[in-house]
Structure 1
Amino acid sequence: MIKKLLLFLLCLGCVTTYAETIKTDVLVIGGGASGVSAAIQSARSKVKTLLIEQGNWLGGSLTSSGYCYLQSNRNFPSGIYGEFRKRVVDVYKLRLGYDTTATAPLAFEPAMGAAILKKLTDTVKNLTLKLNTPFIDVKKDGTGWEVTIVENKGKVTVKAKALIDATEMGDVVSKLNVLMTAGFDSRADTKEALAPANATNQIEDISYISILKDFGRNTDHTISKPEGYDASKYVCLKSVDIKKLLNAAKLPNDKYMINWDNCASQYSVTSEDLQLEHRAETFAKARLHTLGLIYYLQTERGFKNLGFADDFKTADHLPYQPYIRENRRAAGVVRMVIDDIYTPYDRGSQLYRTAIAVSDAVPGQHYSEAGVPHINYPPFPAFSIPLGAVVVKDQENLFITEKALSVTHLVNGAVTDPAVQMTLGQGVGAAAAFCAFFGTTTKNLQPRVIQGEILDFKGYLMPFADIKQSDPAWRAIQQVGATGMLKGIQKITGSKADVLFMPDSLVTTAEVKPFFDEIYSRSFIWFNQEKPGQFFTVGNLISFISNMNLRDPENLRDALQKSWKSYYKFDTEFKTDRPITRREFAVLANRFINPFARKVDMSGKILN
C-alpha cells in the first residue's frame, strides 16, 4: 500500500512539474502595438506562439497609454496594421462625422482599440495569449530561451526557440548582458552630420495622456486640486487656442486625446529615471503633472465641462501607463543611422535591401528641459526599417522592438510611433518564425525568405506612396524596389518627403546598368554589344532577358505581345522601339529575371 502511495505521489509530482513548463516555438513578451502584431504574424507563419502581457489590455501605447489618434503610416495600410485600421473604421463608420477616408488619421477610443486587438488575436490559430502575466527572469537554453513567468500567483517556466522583447522599455534585454545606449549619440560615434558634438543621456519626455469628454456647456467636472499643483507650470497654455488643440485630436463620442507639447502633457526624464528601481516614482510625478494640466484647463481656462472619460478604470482616470517615446537602445546586428533614411542608395551598406517594414513618421523633439540640442532635420523622407535592427547582437534568437530598437537617437523618433511599431512587429514576427520553423538561429537569417513571407501577408517593404496594394503590380514593384534595380524618388512636401516609384516615368539606361553589372557577369558584354540609348526600350529589355536566360528573343517577343494587356494589365501599346516605363520594367524584370531571388546578407550585399 505504501509503495503504491509513493508511486502515486511520484507520478503526481511528474505531472505537476510538466504542467509548470510550457514549450512554444516563439515567445513574445509584451502585448503592445509591435508585440501583438509580431505574435499574430508568427502564428500565421505556422509556428506555435505564446504572447504574454503583464497588464489586462493589449495595445500598449495605442491603448493602455491612450495614444489613440494615429497620423503616421496612413499611406501604408501594411498587413496587420491594415487589418487593425479596417476594423476600427468598421466600428465607427456609421458615427456622424467620423472620417473614413483611407488616408485620414485613425481615431478610436482606447478601450475599443484594446477590444479590437483582443478579438483579432482570438481568431489566430497557433496563438496563445496570457494577460496579467508578468515575466520575472530570462536565461539562455541552448540556442533558445527559458523564461519564468507568473501565472495565477505561481511561477511557470516557458521554453521557447525564439524570443521577442516587445516590452515598452526593453525590460527583457535589460536583464541580459546586452550593450545598450541612451540619449543623444555623439557625432564622432555615429558619423551623422546632424548629431551633436557631445553625447547626453537626455531622452524625449514621457507623457501621461488624458482622454477627456465634453459633458455639456453647463456641467462642472472640476477635479480636486492635485498634490503640489502650481499654475505657473502651465503658463505656455495661457494664450493658446484650447478649442483648436482639442479638435486636433478629436475622438469618437465627444472625446479628446490630450497629448500636448511643451509645458502641457510632457514630463522630462533621463534614461535613469525609467530604470525599474526609479520607474514608479517617476510615473507618480508624471501623473501629478498631467492632473495639474487638467485642473488648470478647468479652473484657469474655464473648461469645467471637460471631464475624464471612462476608458481607464484607474483611481485618477489616467491611462494604465505613460506614453514612452524613448529609452535605452540595444546593440543590434546593424545600427540604423540617419543616412540610411536620407540617402539609402548611396551608402556602403544597402540596408533597404533587408527591409521588413516602412515608416513615414517624422522624428519628434519633445523636450521640456532647457538646453537640449535641437536638430534641424531637412524634410524627412519615408523609409524602410532593416532586419538587422531588430536582431540583438551576440545573442542567438533574440529580437527587439519598441524603444530598444538598434537605431541612433536621430532615427529613434521616427520608428517608435505606435502605427509604425505595429507595422514593424509583423516583420519581427516573420523573422522569429523563420528561426523556429527552420530550426535555425539568427546567425542564419535569410532576408529574402523573410521578406517573401511578409509580402505574402500584405506587409510593405518599400515606402512607395504612389503604388497601392490594389495595384496589380504592387508585389512586383515591392520586390524590384527591394533590390535597388529601380530606386525610389523623394518628393518634398513641407517637412516631409514622399518616396515615389513613379510607375509611368521612363527607365534610363544609366539607372539600371549599375545593378545589371553587379549581379550578371555577362551584363558588361551585352551593354557593349547592344549599346542602348539614353532610355531603355521594350526591345532592350527583351534582348537582355533573352541573353541572360538563353531564351529565343522572337518567341519571347511574341508571347509578350499576346499577353501585354490581358495578363500583365498594361494600358500601353506593345512596341519594341518604345522607351519602357518603370511599371513595365518592374513587372517583366521581376517575372523573367527575378532579381529578388538573389540572396543578400544582413548589410544588403548581394551574395553570388
Structure 2
Amino acid sequence: MSYNTVYDVIVCGGGTSGVSAAISAARNGAKTLLVERLGALGGQMSTSGPPGFAYARLFNPQGKRDVGGIVEETFQRLLKSGHALPHLRYPFREKAGYTFSYVDPDWWTMLIFEMLEDEKAELLLDTLVVGVTKEKDTVTGIVVENANGRNEIKGKIVIDCTGEGYVSAHADCEMACVSREDIQPHTLSFTVDGVDWDELLQYIRNHPDQFSYKQLIYPCNDSNMEDIYKVYSTCHDITEMGEIMGFYELRDMALKNGDWHPYSGAGFFLTPKEGGHIQAHFQHSSQVDHCLPTDAWDLTKCMVECRKQNMIAWRFFKNYVPGFKNAYITKVSTELRLREGPRIVGDYVLTRDDVEECRQFSDTIGKSSFKAGSYHVASMDTLAVCAKYRDDLAYPKDGGSYDIPYRVLVPKKVENLLVAGKCVSTDRPAYLRYLHQTMVTGQAAGTAAALCVRKSVTPRVLEKDVNELQKLLADQGAILYEPTES
C-alpha cells in the first residue's frame, strides 16, 4: 500500500492495547493501519510481559466478571483450540484478589495476526513513529522511519498505543510522569521449563508459611490465614497456584551466602503450553531503579543490569529451590517490561479515590477491579525484599469494580488523537498498566475512532454523546455496567 493512502484510523503500537484497537477499528468499518516498531505483535503477551499473569483479574473479588470483549473472545478461541486452560475459579478463590485464566502466549500472538487479517486491518511492521503531522491543534497523520526511509502517513484519527505515550508527546500533549529518582523499576522476564512440579509442590505443602498469599484471598489478613495455609498445605495441582512468591528461608540463606541480588523477592508466574504443559515465567526477579523509558541510555543500562540480575536469580533457583535441578531457560524476553512511564492529561483524570470508591461514570467504556497504588522496591538493607507499598494503595471497596470513563482516552487540547493502554489519563496510583486494562481501553479507542470517522466528528465531540459507542462495545461483549455473575 502506498504511503499516499489516507487511512481512517492509524494505530501506533502493536502491543496489547494496539492490537485490540486495530481489530476493533477495522471490525467497525474503518480503513485501519497498525504501525509497530518491532516485527512482532503482542507487547506484554509476547515480547516483554508475564503471560502467566496475562489474563488475571477478569473477575472481581465478589466473584463477578467485569472484563469481557476482546479479552474474553481471544481466551475462548484459544480454549476451544486447546491453547488455554479454563478460568481458574477454585472454591478457595471465590474472594480472590487475583483470578487466573491461562493462555499460551505464542498461540495468542498467532491468533492476533489471524484476527487482524480477518478484519482486513493493514500492518506496517519494523517501523518507528518519529513524529506527527498537525494543522494547528489537530493531528492529521504520523511520520515514520523504516527500511523505506522517512515518510508521512495521513489518517483521520490517530490512536497512541505506544505504552509510553511517545506519539502523544510528539503531538505536544500535556503529559504527567514521575522523576527518574522515583519511577517504578522495570524488569526483564525469562521463561523456564523442565521443572519437577511434584517435588516443588511437596516443598510447598511442607512449608506453607514460606509463601505470599495475597493472590489467593482478598483481603489477606490474620482471620483467614488458617484457610490460606490449608490451601498451600494440601495443593497437588500446580495450576491452582497461579503465581508462587516467597521462598523466604531459602532466599535468606542465599542472601547470607551472597547468592541473591538486593532488588526483589523470589518467585514466578505460571504459563501454559500445549497439552496442559506448564512453564515457570520469571518476572519480578530482576529490577533496576532510576531508569526513564523516555531515555535510550537509561533503557540500555536497565537492559544490561537486568540480564545480570536474571542470572543471579536463576542460579538461586537452580541451586536452592526443590524441583529446579534439571530445569532450563527456554526464552529471555527481547524487551523490558516498563512498569511506569508518561501518562497523558486527558479530559478526565482517573484517580485513586475513583478506584477505592468503585466510582461509576456515565461515559464508561469498561470496568476493572485492580487495586490502585504506586510502589517501589525497598533496599535489602532493611530486608524488605518484596514490593513496599506506598500510602496510596487502595482496593475497590467491598471487592467491587470501578468504571473507566471514555474521557481518559481523550488528551486535552489536541484533536483527532485518542490514547489507549498504559498512557491513558490517570493519577499515579490509578495507573492502568495491566494487560486486561490495556485491552479494554484499546477496544474502546478503536471502536470510538471508527465511530468518529463514520459520524465525521472528533473524539472530543463524541464525549457529548457516548450512547452509540457504549452500545457498540456492549454488542461486542464488553462489560460496561453491572458485572455479571460468575
TM-score in terms of structure 1 length: 0.60
182, 199, 205: which one aligns with 1:202: 182
44, 47, 50: which one aligns with 1:64: 47
Q: Does the 8 A contact of 1:36 with 1:58 survive in 2?
A: yes
Secondary structure of the residue that 2:6 maps to in structure 1? strand
Q: CA deviation at 1:364?
A: 5.7
Q: CA deviation at 1:49?
A: 0.7
Q: Does the 8 A contact of 2:56 with 2:100 survive in 1?
A: yes
In the alignment, which residue of structure 1 is the partner of 2:474?
A: 455
Question: Which region of structure 1 is more displaced relative to structure 2, 277-286 or 26-35?
Answer: 277-286
Amino acid across the alignment from 1:204: Q
In the alignment, which residue of structure 2 is the partner of 1:298?
A: 318
Secondary structure of the residue that 2:425 maps to in structure 1? coil
Q: CA deviation at 1:156?
A: 3.0
Which one has a bigger Cα radius of gyration? 1
Q: C-alpha deviations, 1:491-518, integer Å up to 9, x for none?
A: xxxxxxxxxxxxxxxxxxxxxxxxxxxx
In the alignment, which residue of structure 2 is the partner of 1:417?
A: 434
In the alignment, which residue of structure 2 is the partner of 1:339?
A: 353
Q: CA deviation at 1:378?
A: 4.7
278, 289, 299: which one aligns with 1:268: 289
Tell me the distance in 1 between the aligned counterparts of 2:168 and 2:376. Answer: 26
Amino acid across the alignment from 1:336: L
The percent identity for this pair of structures is: 22
Tell me the distance in 2 between the aligned counterparts of 1:452 and 1:99. Answer: 28
Question: Judging changes above 3 Å, is the alpha-carbon distance between structure 1 residues 144 and 439 closer, same or farther for their aligned structure 2 residues?
Answer: farther
In the alignment, which residue of structure 2 is the partner of 1:492?
A: none
What is the correspondence of 1:345-384 to structure 2 with a 5 Å cutoff? 352-363=361-372, 365-370=374-379, 373-380=390-397, 381-384=400-403
Question: Judging changes above 3 Å, is the alpha-carbon distance between structure 1 residues 19 and 214 closer, same or farther for their aligned structure 2 residues?
Answer: same
Secondary structure of the residue that 2:315 maps to in structure 1? helix
In the alignment, which residue of structure 1 is the partner of 2:127?
A: 133
Q: Does the 8 A contact of 1:273 with 1:282 survive in 2?
A: no
Question: Judging changes above 3 Å, is the alpha-carbon distance between structure 1 residues 73 and 463 closer, same or farther for their aligned structure 2 residues?
Answer: farther
In the alignment, which residue of structure 1 is the partner of 2:411?
A: 392
Q: Does the 8 A contact of 1:358 with 1:424 survive in 2?
A: no
In the alignment, which residue of structure 2 is the partner of 1:84?
A: 74
Tell me the distance in 2 between the aligned counterparts of 1:111 and 1:326. Answer: 25
Tell me the distance in 2 between the aligned counterparts of 1:457 and 1:465. Answer: 15
Aligned length: 395
Moved over 4 A (4+): 100-104, 234-237
What is the correspondence of 1:32-51 to structure 2 with a 5 Å cutoff? 32-51=15-34
Q: C-alpha deviations, 1:330-360, integer Å up to 9, x for none?
A: 1101111122233366xxxxx6110011112
In the alignment, which residue of structure 2 is the partner of 1:111?
A: 106
Q: CA deviation at 1:273?
A: 5.4
1:327 aligns with 2:353: no
Secondary structure of the residue that 2:361 maps to in structure 1? helix
Q: C-alpha deviations, 1:226-282, integer Å up to 9, x for none?
A: xxx963415976xx7xxxx45x5253323111123xxx2333235x35434532222
Q: CA deviation at 1:136?
A: 2.0
In the alignment, which residue of structure 2 is the partner of 1:231?
A: 259
Q: Does the 8 A contact of 2:396 with 2:402 survive in 1?
A: no
Which segments of 5 or more consecutive residues in structure 1 lack a partner in the other structure? 1-17, 185-199, 218-228, 310-316, 346-350, 469-608
1:73 aligns with 2:58: yes
Q: C-alpha deviations, 1:294-352, integer Å up to 9, x for none?
A: 1332235473422112xxxxxxx41121222221111101111122233366xxxxx61
Amino acid across the alignment from 2:328: G
In the alignment, which residue of structure 2 is the partner of 1:526?
A: none
TM-score in terms of structure 2 length: 0.74
Secondary structure of the residue that 1:72 maps to in structure 2? coil
Secondary structure of the residue that 1:352 maps to in structure 2? coil
Q: Does the 8 A contact of 2:102 with 2:272 survive in 1?
A: yes
Which segments of 5 or more consecutive residues in structure 2 lack a partner in the other structure? 60-64, 91-98, 198-256, 380-387
Q: Does the 8 A contact of 1:359 with 1:383 survive in 2?
A: yes
RMSD of aligned Cα (Å): 2.9
Tell me the distance in 2 between the aligned counterparts of 1:285 and 1:176. Answer: 33
In the alignment, which residue of structure 1 is the partner of 2:282?
A: 258
Q: Does the 8 A contact of 1:22 with 1:157 survive in 2?
A: no
Secondary structure of the residue that 2:446 maps to in structure 1? helix
In the alignment, which residue of structure 2 is the partner of 1:124?
A: 119
Q: Does the 8 A contact of 1:357 with 1:385 survive in 2?
A: yes
Amino acid across the alignment from 2:344: A
In the alignment, which residue of structure 2 is the partner of 1:308?
A: 329
In the alignment, which residue of structure 2 is the partner of 1:588?
A: none
Tell me the distance in 1 between the aligned counterparts of 2:396 and 2:410. Answer: 29
Tell me the distance in 1 between the aligned counterparts of 2:307 and 2:391. Answer: 26
Tell me the distance in 2 between the aligned counterparts of 1:146 and 1:379. Answer: 39
Q: Structure 1 or 2: larger strand share?
A: 2
Q: Does the 8 A contact of 1:384 with 1:463 survive in 2?
A: no
Q: CA deviation at 1:122?
A: 1.5
1:55 aligns with 2:50: no
Q: C-alpha deviations, 1:172-201, integer Å up to 9, x for none?
A: 1122322211239xxxxxxxxxxxxxxx96
